[in-house]
Amino acid sequence: MSQDDHGHHKETFVTKYIFSIDHKMISKQYLITGIFMGIIGIAMSMLFRLQLAWPEEPFKIMELLLGGTMAPGGVLNADAYLALVTIHGTIMVFFVLTAGLSGTFSNLLIPLQIGARDMASGFLNMVSYWLFFLSSVIMLISLFVEAGPASAGWTVYPPLSALPQAIPGSGMGMTLWLVSMAIFIASSLLGSLNYIVTVINLRTKGMTMTRLPLTIWTFFVTAIIGVVSFPVLFSAALLLIMDRSFGTSFYLSDIFINGEVLHYQGGSPVLFEHLFWFLGHPEVYIVLLPALGITSEVIATNSRKPIFGYRAMIASILAIAFLSTIVWGHHMFISGMNPFLGSVFTFTTLLIAIPSAVKAFNYITTLWKGNLQFNPAMLFSIGLVSTFVSGGLTGIILGDSTLDINVHDTMFVVAHFHLVMGVTAVYGFLAGVYHWFPKMFGKMMSKKLGYLHFWITAVGAYGVFYPMHFTGLAGLPRRYYNNTSFPIFDDLTDINIIITVFALITGLGQLIFLYNFINSIFNGEKAPQNPWRSTTLEWTTPVEHMHGNWPGDIPEVHRWSYDYSKPGHDEDFVPQNVPMKPGEKELHH
């Protein structure tokens, strides 16, 4: 959109709020859809946690929410349990932490922080959102299919996901899952291409790559990883559709089920695992990097200090991105692939600890001798570093093929990845919402409710996932409907109850956020132009949104985005558009 356009055409309700091509509106659409999906995903986890703590006990709420087929008499049945686990994973990973997180903040911040009037293609951006919306709707519709939604786990390994004879969810439910994901991937690719093109081409004058805020670096690199890996999941899904519907044998061979031999011959489920994890592992970083980028920005702003080791941060983002594409095999150490590959993947996997350590220490050094402003976003960012480290450290165990043998697919894995990518990315998401809410809605969120929300979540997150390490080390597999069939697991009941109690508290605690979010949109205090006294360009735009973002010329950039507390300036921040004083130097070069 060129500068002359804005203000000239009439906007209707439909073009402003629904089929908008304005990146700020699309960002809000992503955010609200993401939050909505998040509520569903979290609610599902609370329901199956009830079953795990009090197996087969009737809960009225279960029948109320899930109906008599999935939870007759309020008792969740085994198929429905697997369905909940599957859809919880799918929704949280893809719909909340990929589309919700990247979609919201890449859309909002890329144009605003690089100094562009909008995305390179506003139309593609709109198409991207509506494809995401469509895929969300299809995923939700799949919950109401008679035989139940997809139930083969979020990794949908065939043959379980390919054969309705193996599990009822692999009928219509799985078909809808695949259709939804195919559309989702198309949406994600359109979005990613747009982000990449915008960052490369539309940076304002003076905004060199080494002056970009780290948020933009992470969004940019995330989009590249997405473009490289999502098409592979697309092909994996396509081949699975072929196997399911057109009788091919890409993944299936020699199967005898329900008293009959199936015709499939020559395929291998291990092929699917390779294709799935070729996306699936980079996906972890697609989820994680934007959260880390947001944290970099929030920690620097609220520490009133430059982010420590800007260049090392960029190097570690690039290193993580590169390594993320060559470590997928660590999900498959015991899949039956050649053990030699296990050695290679152990090596590459453990290397990721190095750039991750660099990032963690750089955050901590940024806090050192800062003047920390504990806005809610800052709390969540510090919480993010805490869970990123706690969860990341157990990766040393899981990434080691030898140790993986006995903890693979146990609750230990569930504990690990929920801390390191689940909670961490959710913290990044929430930090982003608290930090950029004033930019998105022109209002302030209540900090008191923000504090309450953080502390409940922070205590709850460890309360849920720390004890889970122990059940995993006791040998308890994941995706078990109950563990009462094994007396040897009987002494895990107490731990399971503790986990569930924390999960319920934490889940309900999110209602505080929801209330604060909605209430602040309507009744929040009016936001000042730059509430956090930040240096980046988005805070030079007017509070009231307008097409084209800046009323006059796009500001020119004269410095990097981390000039906080720079000696020789009166204020403790120097916005990027302030020219250098005579004799002033850019210190990070």
- What residues from 355 to 384 belong to the interface with other proteins (CB under 8 A)? 357-358, 360-365, 367-375, 378-379, 382
Please tell me whether residue 455 binds other proteins under the rule CB under 8 A. Answer: yes
User: How many binding residues for other proteins (CB under 8 A)?
Assistant: 135
Out of 485, 544, 583, 585, point to the residue binding other proteins (CB under 8 A): 485
Residue with tokens 């919880």: 88
Closest-CA residue to 517 (of 586, 432, 585, 433): 433
Out of 20, 104, 386, 535, point to the residue binding other proteins (CB under 8 A): 386
Out of 185, 495, 554, 557, point to the residue binding other proteins (CB under 8 A): 495
Out of 49, 211, 408, 439, point to the residue binding other proteins (CB under 8 A): 408
∠ CA 297-516-89, nearest 5°, is 70
Please tell me whether residue 546 binds other proteins under the rule CB under 8 A. Answer: no
Please tell me whether residue 405 binds other proteins under the rule CB under 8 A. Answer: yes
- Phi and psi angles of residue 44, each rounded to the nearest 5 degrees, phi first: -60, -40
149 strand-pairing partners: 173
Using CB under 8 A as the binding rule, the residues of this chain from 15 to 54 that contact other proteins are none
Please tell me whether residue 78 binds other proteins under the rule CB under 8 A. Answer: yes
Please tell me whether residue 90 binds other proteins under the rule CB under 8 A. Answer: no
Structure letter (DSSP) for residue 149: B
Out of 147, 444, 504, 578, point to the residue binding other proteins (CB under 8 A): 444
- Comparing CB distances to other proteins, the nearer of 255 and 425 is 255
Please tell me whether residue 452 binds other proteins under the rule CB under 8 A. Answer: yes
Closest-CA residue to 133 (of 44, 37, 40): 37
* Smallest distance from other proteins to CB 377, Å: 10
Closest-CA residue to 163 (of 77, 252, 233, 272): 252
Out of 98, 107, 194, 401, point to the residue binding other proteins (CB under 8 A): 401
Out of 61, 64, 209, 354, point to the residue binding other proteins (CB under 8 A): 354
Please tell me whether residue 580 binds other proteins under the rule CB under 8 A. Answer: no
Please tell me whether residue 564 binds other proteins under the rule CB under 8 A. Answer: yes
305, two tokens: 């200090």
- Comparing CB distances to other proteins, the nearer of 5 and 490 is 490
Closest-CA residue to 143 (of 97, 181, 187, 177): 177
- Report yes or no: 258 and 166 within 8 Å, Cβ to Cβ: no
Using CB under 8 A as the binding rule, the residues of this chain from 313 to 352 that contact other proteins are 334-336, 339, 342-343, 346-347, 350-351
What separation, in Å, do the N-terminal and C-terminal C-alpha atoms of the chain show?
A: 34
Please tell me whether residue 308 binds other proteins under the rule CB under 8 A. Answer: yes
Q: Return the CA Rg of the chain.
A: 24
- Comparing CB distances to other proteins, the nearer of 36 and 462 is 462
Task: Report the SS3 class of residue 46.
Answer: helix
Please tell me whether residue 552 binds other proteins under the rule CB under 8 A. Answer: no
The torsion region of residue 304 among left (phi > 0), alpha (psi -120 to 50) and beta comes to left
- Comparing CB distances to other proteins, the nearer of 351 and 521 is 351
- Comparing CB distances to other proteins, the nearer of 231 and 463 is 463
Task: Report the SS3 class of residue 277.
Answer: helix
- Comparing CB distances to other proteins, the nearer of 191 and 472 is 472
Please tell me whether residue 188 binds other proteins under the rule CB under 8 A. Answer: no
∠ CA 218-223-225, nearest 5°, is 95
- Report yes or no: 268 and 253 within 8 Å, Cβ to Cβ: yes
Using CB under 8 A as the binding rule, the residues of this chain from 209 to 238 that contact other proteins are none
Closest-CA residue to 229 (of 184, 281, 178): 281
* Smallest distance from other proteins to CB 254, Å: 5
Please tell me whether residue 403 binds other proteins under the rule CB under 8 A. Answer: yes
- Comparing CB distances to other proteins, the nearer of 2 and 258 is 258
The number of C-alpha atoms within 13 Å of 317 and in the hemisphere containing its C-beta is 28
Stretch that binds other proteins, among 216-224, 231-239, 283-291, 473-481 (CB under 8 A): 473-481
- Report yes or no: 298 and 376 within 8 Å, Cβ to Cβ: no
Q: How many residues does the chain have?
A: 589
Please tell me whether residue 494 binds other proteins under the rule CB under 8 A. Answer: yes
Please tell me whether residue 69 binds other proteins under the rule CB under 8 A. Answer: no
* Smallest distance from other proteins to CB 107, Å: 24
367, two tokens: 């806090």
- Report yes or no: 559 and 587 within 8 Å, Cβ to Cβ: no
Please tell me whether residue 479 binds other proteins under the rule CB under 8 A. Answer: yes
Q: 322: buried, middle or exposed (CB in 10 Å: 19+, 13-18, 0-12)?
A: middle
∠ CA 351-354-359, nearest 5°, is 140
Please tell me whether residue 490 binds other proteins under the rule CB under 8 A. Answer: yes
Out of 106, 113, 187, 471, point to the residue binding other proteins (CB under 8 A): 471
Using CB under 8 A as the binding rule, the residues of this chain from 244 to 273 that contact other proteins are 252-257, 259, 261, 266-270
Please tell me whether residue 393 binds other proteins under the rule CB under 8 A. Answer: yes
- Report yes or no: 351 and 357 within 8 Å, Cβ to Cβ: no
- Report yes or no: 517 and 441 within 8 Å, Cβ to Cβ: no
461, amino acid identity: A
Please tell me whether residue 482 binds other proteins under the rule CB under 8 A. Answer: yes
Please tell me whether residue 525 binds other proteins under the rule CB under 8 A. Answer: yes
Q: 247: buried, middle or exposed (CB in 10 Å: 19+, 13-18, 0-12)?
A: exposed
Stretch that binds other proteins, among 33-41, 175-183, 414-422, 484-492 (CB under 8 A): 484-492
Using CB under 8 A as the binding rule, the residues of this chain from 286 to 305 that contact other proteins are 303-305
* Smallest distance from other proteins to CB 49, Å: 15
